[in-house]
Amino acid sequence: MISVLLVDDEALVRAGLRMILETADDLTVIGEAATGRAAIGAVAGARPDVVLMDVRMPDLDGLTATTAIRARSRPPAVIVLTTFDADDAVFRALEAGATGFLLKDTPPRDLLRAVRLAAAGDAILSPQVTRQVIDRVTAQDRTGRRREALDRLRALTEREREVLVQIGLGHANSAIAANLHMSEATVKSHISRLFDKLAATNRVQLAIAAFRAGLVE
């Protein structure tokens, strides 16, 4: 069972998320919190596999809470939920170490899939959010950061570069394994090395590295 903690200051939102998650046999909601500060305490006590975290809450916002939670030893995956699809919260959430970023109007099936992927270490973001992140970063990089980005990739093996391209294209581990004719375990090993070599904390940062270096257009 994948255990999930719900964090949102609106009880109605938490109830809706719980209703969706409890339709799945492999997911269980082990707790709820209405503030970021309460979420930190709940993570310490309940040790969930995945946290669904709202951005704007009283007492302590979700992004500050995410930073604290991800700084723990063996932290849970954190998926940030928001109503904003073009907001600086996206970038702040990624910097805070969020595993994924979804809009609150994400279809239930996609939400369930995202929780499962996050628990497996294979995060996902709303396609429109990922596109906006990439567009914003590449627009900033037109002033000349490509050479620096290419230099960062020199430490990668050819196979790691291929995996990085697949991540830049938005493929999940299963698709990468099929496209590159390798096992998912091997894909995860390559991604783990990419995180280390590129000092990244989530897949979007890897995708950005691929775009910055011109590996994906």
The three-point CA angle 57-30-5 to 5° equals 30
> From residue 29, how far is each of 81, 125, 127, 174, 202 by CA, in Å?
16, 21, 26, 26, 24
Q: Which of 21, 57, 15 is nearest to 38 (CA)?
A: 57
Closest CA to 112 of 85, 79, 89, 86: 79
Q: Which pLDDT score is estimated for 182?
A: 95
Mean pLDDT of 135-149: 61
pLDDT reported for residue 130:
61
pLDDT above 90 as % of the chain: 47
CA 193 to chain centre: 17
100-103/77-82 β-pairing: parallel
* Mean pLDDT value of segment 136-142: 57
This prediction's pTM? 0.70
Say how far residue 173 (Cα) sits from the centre of its chain. 14
Q: Chain-centre distance of CA 64, in angstroms?
A: 16
pLDDT value at position 109? 92
The mean pLDDT of 130-149, rounded to a whole number, is 61
Residues 44, 105: Cα–Cα separation, whole Å: 29
pLDDT at residue 140 in the model: 57
Short-list 121, 98, 96, 100, CA closest to 111: 100
Tell me what pLDDT residue 123 has: 63
- Tens of pLDDT, residues 73-120: 889 999 988 776 545 666 677 767 787 778 888 899 989 988 998 898
Q: Within a 10 A sphere around the Cβ of 61, how many other Cβ atoms? A: 18
Chain mean pLDDT for the chain: 85
Q: What is the pLDDT of residue 205?
A: 80
Between β-strands 27-33 and 77-82, what pairing exists: parallel, antiparallel or unpaired? Answer: unpaired
Q: Looking at this protein, which amino acid is placed at residue 24?
A: A
pLDDT in tens, 157-197: 999 999 999 988 878 888 999 999 999 999 999 999 999 99
Provide the sign of the torsion angle of the four alpha carbons 98, 120, 9, 131, taken in this order. positive
pLDDT at 134 exceeding the cut of 70: no
